[in-house]
């Protein structure tokens, strides 16, 4: 992670912060039902395929909820007038901290809509509030390196695969703070999901927020209806697009 200067752009306006806070509040207020088989959803096969694709893009192999052998409590919420279709994956993973050091257990709650993926990280032995600022950055960077797929490739504007390497920039890491890999990028106008990943501090623990921006293949941006992920209707306007 790197501390940003006052001169560097940092697109977390009061409006954007309010949007993120509202989204988290909505997720926490959702009524979740157990999901033991994706056949419970009208378009379950495609929802699962879509979820597997996005989790593999944002999460490391070790932290992926679809990794064989991981005990995952999976649930879903069907959209109402005030929210959207959402999946939730809750599980624990264990990471090596270093040679001759004890292994570290991390509790993950991954919640996703057709637009975004929220990755909430809870490390029982970590309270960011109790750490000095420089140590907070180091703690978050360690978790990001373990949980996220920080390096990879994505489809570039030339239709070739281009590399990306995410490094989070921040101003402060106090409660409620936000950080980003590209705070100067406008989220809704991004070419690719890889252009920007965000994060923040909530309840003394970090979270990460990925944006499921699909690279356009016919020259126009793709906007999916979050109320119709589970029934597949969100894809209706894009059936002709190669990615689908």
Per-block average pLDDT, block size 10, for the chain (244 residues)?
Answer: 69 56 71 96 96 97 96 96 93 85 91 94 92 91 96 83 92 90 85 92 94 79 90 86 56
The confidence score (pLDDT) of residue 3 equals 81
The confidence score (pLDDT) of residue 19 equals 60
The confidence score (pLDDT) of residue 112 equals 95
Tokens 């920039």: give the residue.
Answer: 169
Cα–Cα distance for residue pair 105/125, rounded to 1 Å:
9
The confidence score (pLDDT) of residue 44 equals 96
Q: Give, for 232, the enclosing helix (H) or strand (E).
A: none
Task: Tell me the three state secondary structure of residue 142.
Answer: helix
The confidence score (pLDDT) of residue 16 equals 55
147 neighbors 94 (Cβ within 8 angstroms): no
Tell me whether strands 161-165 and 2-3 are parallel, antiparallel or unpaired: unpaired
Cα–Cα distance for residue pair 53/219, rounded to 1 Å:
22
The confidence score (pLDDT) of residue 223 equals 86
Tokens for 146?
């373990």
Closest CA to 91 of 111, 116, 76: 111
Phi, psi torsion values for 169, nearest 5 degrees: -110, 145
Tokens for 194?
């890889």
């Amino acid at each position: 992670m790197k501390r940003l200067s006052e001169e560097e752009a940092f697109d977390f306006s009061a409006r954007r912060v309010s949007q993120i806070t509202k989204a988290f509040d909505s997720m926490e207020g959702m009524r979740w039902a157990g999901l033991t088989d994706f056949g419970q959803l009208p378009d379950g096969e495609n929802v699962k395929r879509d979820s597997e694709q996005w989790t593999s893009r944002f999460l490391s192999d070790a932290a992926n909820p679809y990794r064989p052998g991981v005990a995952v409590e999976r649930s879903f919420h069907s959209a109402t007038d005030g929210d959207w279709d959402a999946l939730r994956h809750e599980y624990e993973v264990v990471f090596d901290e270093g040679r001759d050091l004890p292994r570290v257990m991390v509790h993950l709650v991954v919640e996703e809509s057709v637009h975004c993926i929220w990755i909430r990280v809870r490390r029982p032995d970590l309270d960011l509030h109790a750490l000095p600022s420089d140590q907070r950055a180091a703690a978050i960077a360690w978790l990001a390196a373990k949980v996220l797929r920080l390096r990879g490739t994505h489809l570039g504007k030339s239709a070739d695969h281009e590399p990306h390497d995410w490094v989070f920039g921040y101003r402060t890491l106090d409660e409620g703070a936000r950080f980003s890999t590209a705070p100067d990028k406008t989220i809704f106008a991004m070419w690719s999901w890889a252009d920007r990943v965000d994060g923040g501090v909530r309840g003394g623990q970090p979270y990460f927020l990925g944006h499921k921006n699909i690279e356009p293949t016919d020259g126009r941006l793709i906007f999916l209806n979050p109320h119709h992920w589970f029934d597949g209707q969100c894809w209706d306007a894009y059936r002709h697009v190669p990615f689908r």
